[in-house]
Amino acid sequence: MSEAAIRLASFSDSGSPLPDGRVSRYNRSNLCAENSMTELLLPLEDVLGLRDRGALCIDARSPAEYAEATIPGAINVPILDDAERIEIGTLYRQAGRQAARRRGVEIVAPKIPVLVEQIAAARPDGSPPAVVFCWRGGMRSRALTQVLELAGIPARQLAGGHKAFRSLVRSCFEQGAWGRLIVLRGLTGVGKTRLLQRLAADGYPVVDLEGLANHRGSAFGHLGLPAQPSQRMFEALLWDVLRQIPPGGYALAEGESRHIGRLVLPLTVYQALQSEVSLWVDAPLSRRVDNILTDYPARDSLREEFTQPIRALKGRLGRQKVDELLSLLQLGAWQELVRQLMLDYYDPLYRHTLPERRIEVLVDDEKTGLLHLKTAIAQVLGGAPGVEPAVNEAN
């Protein structure tokens, strides 16, 4: 057994004294290892500081746990895969802690060289010590951290594990301690997302809620996009963006309902989106249709996937109108289909969201519209939070 595997095995033995009160040489070594691990254990605040400086974050949990939610940017280097985790958990319940630990060593020891090489390849040269975490800062992250140290790769263990991080995320949304959110609103297809992307490229701070959610925020918003993250992962990603907005700063965002696909905005974030003067973006219908068609470049290959969302509109539009839309879909008459969806479904649905406190920005073309939008942003930022600008205000 390798030195690293022996050290892993030492985690499953107690440091109890001998009957005469003395501590054996083996247990003295084990106690030294315990003290060493204490030095490698870092609180969440310190870990986030390392992360901000470019430290590699390593999630030692199983692939299924990692897929549910992780610290944004972390890579998955599982000590146990999903089946092995179930096996160890079952053994723990049936035979006890010691048997489960021994079996864990048997499973993990042959993997050690591969785990070390995987992490060494992923860790940027000259970066701070790698940060290892599991669910509660227990055996999995503890073992991997010490293995990396033995292999000459600086590593630290996150105290409290992912559970501590999750608690921080929840606390962030409860407190709502971030800067102003200046919101772009407008009817479907005016190009809010594209305008935000252009503003971000020009150095404006932007929170891309739909990008984080992998959803365009409409009845067809999931088509052609990767699966949405879990609610917990969405919140982690959102936390990572909002924490970069200082209390005296601001960021631009797109106005959303609380639901983006199957994901739900934290209440404090949704409330923050309602508190400022809105930038209401308007555009001619023809431009809106073109924008929507640009958002779905693979629409012909997704034709069948459009069928069910259109049928789901029957309660609002009636059977006859839905049949007309389905006929246009089968003909591939995309421009007319989108135009009718705009006029008969989206515009009546969303026109009520026109806020009383707003600055209207007309976007006939993207270049001119972007200049108008930047002027409106400067106007909003020139006033106190929640106070309407004095000029260019819509009636």
CB 53 within 8 A of CB 128: yes
Q: From edge to edge, which strands make up the β-sheet containing 75-76? A: 41-42, 155-158, 130-133, 57-59, 75-76
**Same domain? 346 vs 262:** yes
- Residue 245: predicted pLDDT: 93
pTM comes to 0.82
User: Do 154 and 33 lie in a common domain?
Assistant: yes
What is the chain's mean pLDDT, rounded? 86
State which amino acid sits at residue 117: E
Q: pLDDT tens digits, residue range 74-90?
A: 999 999 999 999 999 99
What residues have CB less than 8 Å from 165, skipping those under 6 apart? 44, 71, 133, 158, 236
Residue 304 lies in a domain: yes
On the question of pLDDT at 70 being above 50, the answer is: yes
The residue ranking higher by pLDDT, 389 or 360, is 360
Residues 201, 341, single domain; the answer is yes
pLDDT for position 38: 66
When mean pLDDT is compared across 30-34, 106-110, 356-360, 377-381, the lowest value belongs to: 30-34
Mean pLDDT of 210-231: 81
Residues 165 and 182 in one domain: no
**Mean local confidence (pLDDT), 36-64:** 92
- With respect to residue 276, please indicate whether it lies within any of the assigned structural domains: yes
Q: What is the CATH number of the domain that holds 204?
A: 3.40.50
Q: Where does residue 135 fall: left (phi above 0), alpha (psi -120 to 50 degrees), or beta otherwise?
A: alpha
Range in 70-79, 103-112, 384-393 with the lowest mean pLDDT = 384-393
Q: Residue 217 is part of which domain span?
A: 176-381
Q: Residue 37: what pLDDT? A: 58
Instruction: Write phi, then psi, for 222 (nearest 5 degrees).
Output: -90, -15
The mean pLDDT value for 366-381 works out to 91
pLDDT at 392 over 50: no
Look at residues 154, 169, 184 and tell me which one is the last residue of a structural domain. Answer: 169
Q: Both 226 and 309 in a single domain?
A: yes
pLDDT above 80: residue 301 = no
Three-state DSSP at 172 gives helix
Mean pLDDT value of segment 168-179 = 93
Residue 224 has what pLDDT? Answer: 65
* Segment 276-297 mean pLDDT: 89
Q: What is the CATH number of the domain that holds 85?
A: 3.40.250.10
User: Of 120, 154, 169, at which residue does a domain stop?
Assistant: 169
Q: Band the pLDDT of 35: cuts 50, 70, 90.
A: low
Per the model's pLDDT, the better-predicted residue between 365 and 302 turns out to be: 365
What integer pLDDT is reported at residue 18 of this predicted model? 46
- Whether residue 388 lies inside any domain: the answer is no
Q: Tell me, what's the pLDDT at 14?
A: 36
Residue 392, in any domain of the structure: no
Calculate what percentage of the chain has a pLDDT beyond 90.
66
Q: Is 216 part of any domain?
A: yes
Predicted local distance difference test score (pLDDT) of residue 318: 94
Q: Which of 169, 189, 222 is the last residue of a domain?
A: 169
Query: Is 57 an active-site residue?
Result: no
Quote the number of domains for the chain: 2
Q: What is the pLDDT of residue 237?
A: 98
| 266 CB neighbour count, 10 Å cutoff | 21
